[in-house]
Amino acid sequence: MGNIILTGERPTGPLHIGHYVGSLRSRVKLQNEGNYDEMFLFAADAQALTDNFDNPKKIRDNVFEVALDNLACGIDPKKVNYFIQSEVPELTELTFYYMNLVTVARLHRNPTVKEEIKLRGFEESIPAGFFTYPVSQTADITAFKANIVPVGEDQLPMLEQAREIVRKFNSVYGDTLVEAEALLPESENERRLVGIDGNAKMSKSLGNCIYLKDSEEEVKKKVFSMYTDPNHIRIEDPGNVEKNVVFTYLDVFVKEDSFEKYLPEYKNLDELKEHYMRGGLGDMKIKRFLNDVLQEELRPIREKREELEKNPEYVYKVLEEGTKRAREVAGKTLKSVKEAIGINYFN
């Protein structure tokens, strides 16, 4: 106990199964294990605007889409405060004071920001808001005194930077803020699920995603178009299971009873892999199996999502309640921050 868990994501598009295995699945597990005092989840819409300022509608629409994804995967508003970042102005105020505790040179060294600047072609004209978003992310984390932050690997530099700002704050103004640790998914495949084309990353811009909202037919089509082993041409040919997307996904999604249910002639994944490597096992068969396994996992999520989609009032109510609680907690932290600095003039 004594744990405060916080996590969130930029609402820039509907979530895919890479998000699911990389964070959604584990955040629902954490929620249900109950080993925490309070848990927060949020739509980082203000952060998403730092590189989408000219497309606010996209962000607004995706706050709803991403909320559907999270709730459909099992996030329970009775256990988790789910809030909208821009509706908690205390975060912006904290950011302003934290800005003083970090140098431009240090922000330039942040590897994630560096990569994103390159990706977006910002080199010569970085919006200041985008450049400083790690500082605002520090506000997100510290406002709730979170000590556990479940995230993807790409967020490690953000957490490192947040800890540095916390240490600086505490040493200059006195012990006030809490240092947080990242919590990463266990396996390499979960941390970064490959795309259906075999690309190292599943991403919207590469068009290689399976979305949580995809229909049964879309999922099936995508599974049957998956990259396997290009040298495995005839069924008799020996095949490679490394860098073979179907096997990578099977590693991530197969459950104890999957073989019994859908492919009883094999005992487990090792046996299936051995047969594939030996030769004599065709791609159609492993794809059909993966499709069965995936559909079983995604069906209940899709159905719950469709139900929630018909009830936007409920979804916004959840976010409003979560935001109310978030403001309470962030307000307390802001008060103690201002006291620590000595900018509390009227009380």
CB of 222 to ligand TRP, least distance (A): 23
Q: Is 100 helix (H, G, I), strand (E, B) or coil?
A: helix
Nearest to 9 by CA among 62, 54, 58: 62
What is the distance in angstroms between the CA of the first residue and the CA of the last residue of the chain? Answer: 33
Q: Is 265 helix (H, G, I), strand (E, B) or coil?
A: coil
137 touches ligand TRP (CB under 6 A): yes
By the 8 A CB rule, do 47 and 11 touch?
no
CB of 287 to ligand TRP, least distance (A): 31
What is the C-alpha to C-alpha distance for residues 230 and 197, in angstroms, rounded to an integer? Answer: 12
Residues contacting 308, CB < 8 A, separation 6+: 68, 71, 72, 314, 315
Residue choice 140, 190, 229, 283 for contact with ligand TRP (CB under 6 A): 140
Residue choice 44, 66, 210, 241 for contact with ligand TRP (CB under 6 A): 44
Residues contacting 37, CB < 8 A, separation 6+: 1, 2, 3, 4
Given the complex with ligand TRP, which of 130 and 259 has the nearer CB atom?
130
Given the complex with ligand TRP, which of 86 and 155 has the nearer CB atom?
155
Q: Is 16 helix (H, G, I), strand (E, B) or coil?
A: strand
Contact letters for ligand TRP, residues 46-65 (x by CB under 6 A)? -x------------------
Dig out the tokens for 339 from the structure: 């006291």
Given the complex with ligand TRP, which of 143 and 246 has the nearer CB atom?
143
**Contacts of ligand TRP in 4-33 (CB under 6 A):** 6-10
Given the complex with ligand TRP, which of 9 and 283 has the nearer CB atom?
9
CB of 9 to ligand TRP, least distance (A): 4
Residues touching ligand TRP, count (CB under 6 A): 13
Given the complex with ligand TRP, which of 7 and 248 has the nearer CB atom?
7
Given the complex with ligand TRP, which of 110 and 244 has the nearer CB atom?
110
Nearest to 249 by CA among 15, 18, 14, 13: 18
281 touches ligand TRP (CB under 6 A): no
Residues contacting 256, CB < 8 A, separation 6+: none
CB of 214 to ligand TRP, least distance (A): 21
DSSP state of 15: -
CB of 125 to ligand TRP, least distance (A): 21
What is the C-alpha to C-alpha distance for residues 322 and 78, in angstroms, rounded to an integer? Answer: 10
β-strands 148-150, 38-43: how paired?
Answer: unpaired
Q: Counting every residue, how long is the chain?
A: 347
141 touches ligand TRP (CB under 6 A): yes
**Contacts of ligand TRP in 142-161 (CB under 6 A):** 149, 151, 155
110 touches ligand TRP (CB under 6 A): no
163 touches ligand TRP (CB under 6 A): no
Given the complex with ligand TRP, which of 110 and 248 has the nearer CB atom?
110
What is the C-alpha to C-alpha distance for residues 40 and 84, in angstroms, rounded to an integer? Answer: 11
- By CB under 6 A, name the binding residues for ligand TRP: 6-10, 44, 47, 137, 140-141, 149, 151, 155
